[in-house]
Amino acid sequence: MPRTAKVTRKTKETDISAAVCLDGSGRSGISTPVPFFNHMLDLFCMHGGFDIELAASGDCEIDGHHTVEDIGIVLGAAFKKAIGGKEGIERFGFSLLPMGETLVTLSLDVCGRSVFVWNCDIKNEKVGNFDVELVHEFLKAFCDNFGLTLHVNLNYGQNTHHILEAVFKALGRSLRQALTVRDGSGGIPSTKGTL
């Protein structure tokens, strides 16, 4: 059975719809009013092997906060819905990812418990017109709505674009690893019997 989900969210601030296939080929159709963030989501899809169609509009005349955070809510809910009961998944994912002069370490657990740790001291506040702090807001919303434990550590790096690109590539690779279904195992990967 394909692991797919569709989720929509409409508020006075944003209007977002997403269709997710966890067992895809990395195809993305991302349309938001935040160009740099579109690029980051494209990288996430490519390196995770996820097919995602996402359309978002929001009150970016104020700033991108509501739109980016609500995309995290929608994608987190879509991944949670698509994963179902978590039967047979690897559960854990890890990536040590270089991007130019940058090195990022990312570890995660698809355990149903939202924990988000962000150890990234990024000097610049913007990449082009994009507010760097919005990456934190996106990932926190994604974790909260997926039920994901996620640790992101910047080992070192100077170029802000490289740092954020490494984070999204590492997230894709780590999630792909964690969501892979183990051959011959239909059980829940926990001694508790539930996640």
Give the separation between CA 113 and CA 129, rounded to whole angstroms: 33
Mean pLDDT of the chain: 95
Q: Which domains does the chain have, with CATH numbers?
A: 4-179 (3.30.230.40)
Reported confidence tier of residue 193, pLDDT bands at 50, 70, 90 = confident
> What confidence tier does 154 reach under pLDDT thresholds 50, 70, 90?
very high
Amino acid 195: pLDDT:
74
Per-residue pLDDT averaged across 157-175, rounded?
98
How far is it, in rounded angstroms, from Cα 83 to Cα 93?
Answer: 15
pLDDT tens digits for range 41-58: 999 999 999 999 999 999
**What would the pLDDT profile of 61-103 be if each residue is shown by its tens digit?**
999 999 999 999 999 999 999 999 899 999 999 999 999 999 9
Name, in order, each residue with C-beta under 8 angstroms of 135's C-beta and a sequence gap of 6 or more.
40, 164, 167
Question: Is the predicted pLDDT of residue 182 greater than 90, yes or no?
Answer: no
d(CA 87, CA 119): 31
Q: What is the pLDDT of residue 35?
A: 96
Q: Which whole number is the average pLDDT over 116-128?
A: 96
Q: Indicate if the pLDDT at residue 127 is higher than 90.
A: yes
Phi, psi angles (nearest 5°) of residue 156: -170, 165
CA triple 24-143-59, angle to 5 deg:
90
- Mean pLDDT over 129-146 rounds to 98
CA 169 centroid distance within chain: 9
Rounded alpha-carbon distances, angstroms, from residue 34 to 2, 83, 144, 157: 30, 27, 22, 24
**Separation between Cα atoms, residue 155 and residue 175, nearest integer Å:** 20
**Confidence at residue 184, expressed as pLDDT on a 0 to 100 scale:** 65
Q: Quick one: how far is CA 153 from the chain centroid? A: 15
Amino acid 185: pLDDT: 64
